[in-house]
Amino acid sequence: MQIDLFEKFDLNSKACITWRYGIHIGYRSKNRNYMCLYRLGDFYVEIEYDTSFDGITSINTFISEDQLQPYLEHVDINSLFE
């Protein structure tokens, strides 16, 4: 799937497509929000949840690997050095 086609879907459809076809990469939290990162084809999808009402607040897409930086804090590479 191409990013421009994905962007045309509504929020619910984007979530369903991502959960079914995306590859889960990681997660992070920020204040009351929890973000899950997926790879879908040649782009990334970030689903943001608000934990206070347990629902999706936004779904963002990007292609730049620079935007992966917030997720790198949660990658544990210690086992590589054992």
Global pTM value: 0.84
Residue ranges per domain, the chain? 3-81
pLDDT tens profile 51-77: 888 899 999 999 998 888 888 777 665
Helix (H) or strand (E) holding 75: none
- As its CATH architecture, domain 3-81 has Roll (3.10)
Give per-residue pLDDT as tens, 73-82: 776 656 656 6
Report pLDDT digits (tens) over 13-42.
Answer: 999 999 999 999 889 988 889 999 999 999
Collapsing DSSP to helix, strand or coil, 48 comes out as strand
Which residues lie across from 53 on neighbouring strands? none
